[in-house]
Every structure is written in structure tokens, then in C-alpha cells.
Structure 1
């Protein structure tokens, strides 16, 4: 790799590599120390093609979700099975990995700008801006940039566009799937909302049970399935369909609490 080789967005890969190494070292203990991230499905990651993969996930914090994915994906690619032991897996990280994020979020300070350089495909939200509801047209340049990122590597997106659980899936994700026909891999995370603040930068609580499940790629008929059908498939895959809303029985709550106590130092 040339010292000043750039990705399709103009980012110098040498700089990106060192940013991932440094940020990875600084954040590793958040998922293996303060808390112990429980991973399932690493074998799915190892069997994916190098490009044209779209990860869809539920969303719990602004940044911790994506940071965890950088850890899990790189650990899986380096041969670790469902664990992120020894942060050395980030010495040669996957550099063609991106995530879709709101442009205003990625410009809101020095750290977000650094995280944007690591791999953000920044887009303008069509439904919300500066804390207010809006209604504006999708920018075709944003869609094209997501396609450019897919052509170069892997892209992570959060189809709900918010950290609030059980919000509707944005149809834009389904349109991207129909248009670019990527391999679509669902991810379901839990415990991040309780262990981190909303931005995912500050550890709010320790010894929280964190889970990270990577599911098998979705079977999608890109030509014949409708946008509505793909949206529903996404809702079920990331466990955000309304049918998942239920009153948790007391026995199940007690079992979860007992499991969390076992995890305490």
C-alpha cells in the first residue's frame, strides 16, 4: 500500500489505518473489561465477499454501536471466533469498511470528525435536522456515495435512522438494496443503551450484559420483491418489527437479572 494511497472518498488509507488502531486500543476495554461483549456469528463474517456487503442493524447509541462493529469484524477476519480478545487484530484492519451517518452528527465536534474520517458515509437526513422534524427530498449524491462505498467494500447502516427502539424502518434502505443488490447481513445488538450514554462515548454503567448477534445473509429477490416486502423483512431481521414488542414475564426478567449478577467482578 502506497503511503498516500486514497480510498474513493479521498481519505488517505495510511492515516485511516492509524486512526483505527489508536481508537481501537482506546475503546477495547469498553467491550472487554468494563463490560464483556458476547458475540455470536463470527463465522458469517469470515465467509463474506470483500465488497458489496450491506450490514443492517438496530441502533442504540450514536458511536459505540459502530465502534463495536469495527472490533468484531476485524477480530472475526483475523480468525477469532466470537471474541475480541487481544486487540492486536486491529494492527492490519479492514480499511474498506464504511458506515452511514447523519452529516450534522459527524460535524458536531472534533471527535465526530475523526470518526467520520475512519469511515463515515455522511448523508443529510430527510426527516430531521437540528432537532426539528423536516420533510425534504433525498439527495441523489448521498445515494450515489453509498453505492460507491458498496463498490469499494462493506457498509453498515441503521435502517431506523434513530436510537429510539421500534421506530419504523426508513424506506431508503430498501431502495438501496433494490438498486445496488448487495449481500445483506442483519445484526442485532443489545445492552449498549444501558452501558453507554446516548452518544456512546461515556461508560454509564459497568458489568452490563452486551450482546452482538450476526445473522446469516437475507434471501432477497431483488427484482420481484416490493419495497414494502423488503422493509418488513428488515424489521424482522433486526428484531424491530412491532410483533417483538411484548410484556416481558417476571420470570424472564429475574433470569436476566441473575445472569447479569453472574457477570459482575
Structure 2
């Protein structure tokens, strides 16, 4: 690899490699130390194609969720099954992993900018800006950048577009799926909301069992399934369909909502 070789977004791979190594080493104990990350299904990762893979997941913090996924993906590619033990896997990380994030979030400070260089595909949210509800057109350049990232490698997206649970899936994700025909791999996470502040930077509580379940790729008829059908399939896959609310005790829902309120001040 040339020292100044770049990815399709103009990021120097040598620099990106070292950012992932350093950030990975600094964050490892957040998932195997202060808290423990329970992983299920990571054997799926090593058999995935090199590119055009879209991971869809529920969302609990701005940054900790995707950092944990970087750890799990790279550990799995280096032969660790359901484990991130021994951070040697960081020495040779997969460099074409990207994640979709709000441009506003990724430009809000030095750390977000570093994380953005490590793999963000930053987009302008069409429904919210600077804490207010908006309604604006999708930027075609954002859609093009997600397609560019899929063409180059793997992309993680959080199709609800928020860390609040039980919010609807954004239809844009289904349009991306129909357009690019990626292999869609669902991920369900839990425990991150209890472990970290809302941004996923500060450790709020230690000794929390975090979990990440990587499911089998979805079967999708890209040509014939409607956007609505794909949206519903995603809701079930990441366990955020409204029907799941019927089997969750009301007290637990109230506790989750109270926890969300407590996390607001850490914005």
C-alpha cells in the first residue's frame, strides 16, 4: 500500500489505519473491562463479501454503538468468535468500514471529527437540525456518498435516525436498499444506553452487561418488494416494530423513558 493511498472519500488510508488503532486501544476497556460486551452471531462476519454490505441496527448512543461494532467486526475477521479479547486485531483493521451519521453531529468537536475521518458518511438530516424539527429535501450528494461507501465496503446505518427507542424506520433506508441491492445484516444492541451518556463518550455506569446480536442477512426481493414492506422487515429485524411494545411491561417502558430524560443533560 502506498503511504498516501486514499479511499474514495479522499481519506489517507495510512492515517485512517492509525486512527482506528489508537481509538480502538483507548476504547477497548469500555466493552471489555469497565463493562462487558456479550456478543452473539459474530461468526457471520467473516463470511460476508468484501463490499456492498449494509448493517442496520437500533441506536442507543451517538458514538459508542458504532465503536463497539468496529471492535466486533475486526475481531471476527481475525478469527475471534463472539469475543473481542486481545486487541491484536486492531493492528490490521478493515479500512473500508463506514457508518452513516448526521453531519451536524460529526462536526460538533474534535473527537467527532476524528471519528468522522475514521469512517463516517456524514449526511444532512431531512427531519431535524440544531435541535428543531425541519422538513427539507434529501441531498442527492448524500445518497450518492452512501452508494459510494457501499461500493467500496461495508456501511453501518441506524435507520431510525435517533437514539430514542421505538421510533419509526426512515423510508430513505429502504430506498437505499432497493437502489444498491446490498446484503442487509441486522444488528440488535442493548445496554449501551445504561453504560454511557447520550453521546457515548462518558462512562455513566460500570458493571453493565452490554449485548450485540448479529443476525443472519435478510432475504429481500429488491425488484418486487415495496419500500413499505422493506421498512416493516427492518423494524422486525432490529426489534423495533410496534408489536414488540405489546410484550414489554409498562413499568420497563416508563423506566426507559425516565432514563432517556436523565441522559439529556449530557448532550
Alignment of 1:32-111 (within 5 A): 32-111=32-111
Q: Any stretches of 5+ residues in structure 1 without a counterpart?
A: 253-265
Describe the superposition over 1:33-60 as per-residue Cα deviations: whole angstroms up to 9, x where unpaired: 0111000111110110010000000000
CA change 1:139–1:237 in 2 (3 A) is: same
> Residue 39 of structure 2 aligns to a residue in which SS?
strand
Question: Does structure 1 residue 223 correspond to structure 2 residue 239?
Answer: no
> Residue 25 of structure 2 aligns to a residue in which SS?
helix
The 4+ residue runs of structure 1 with deviation greater than 2 A are 246-250
Question: Does structure 1 residue 25 correspond to structure 2 residue 47?
Answer: no
Q: CA deviation at 1:249?
A: 5.7
Describe the superposition over 1:70-117 as per-residue Cα deviations: whole angstroms up to 9, x where unpaired: 000000000001000011101000000000000000000000000000
The alignment yields a C-alpha RMSD, in angstroms, of 1.2
Q: Any stretches of 5+ residues in structure 2 without a counterpart?
A: 253-267
Q: CA deviation at 1:211?
A: 0.4
TM-score by length of 2: 0.93
Q: CA deviation at 1:248?
A: 4.1
Describe the superposition over 1:111-154 as per-residue Cα deviations: whole angstroms up to 9, x where unpaired: 00000000000000000000000000000000000000000000
> Residue 72 of structure 2 aligns to a residue in which SS?
helix
> Which shifted more, 239-248 or 131-140?
239-248
Q: CA deviation at 1:203?
A: 0.5
Q: Give, in whole Å, the separation in 1 of the partners of 2:87 and 2:161.
A: 30
Alignment of 1:1-265 (within 5 A): 1-246=1-246, 248=248
Residue equivalent to 1:263: none
Q: CA deviation at 1:246?
A: 3.5
Q: Give, in whole Å, the separation in 1 of the partners of 2:110 and 2:191.
A: 27
Residue equivalent to 2:260: none
Q: Give, in whole Å, the separation in 2 of the partners of 1:101 and 1:43.
A: 26
Q: Give, in whole Å, the separation in 2 of the partners of 1:104 and 1:220.
A: 32
Residue equivalent to 1:262: none
> Residue 21 of structure 2 aligns to a residue in which SS?
helix
TM-score by length of 1: 0.93
Residue equivalent to 1:255: none
Q: How many residues align?
A: 251
Q: Give, in whole Å, the separation in 2 of the partners of 1:206 and 1:246.
A: 30
> Residue 155 of structure 2 aligns to a residue in which SS?
strand
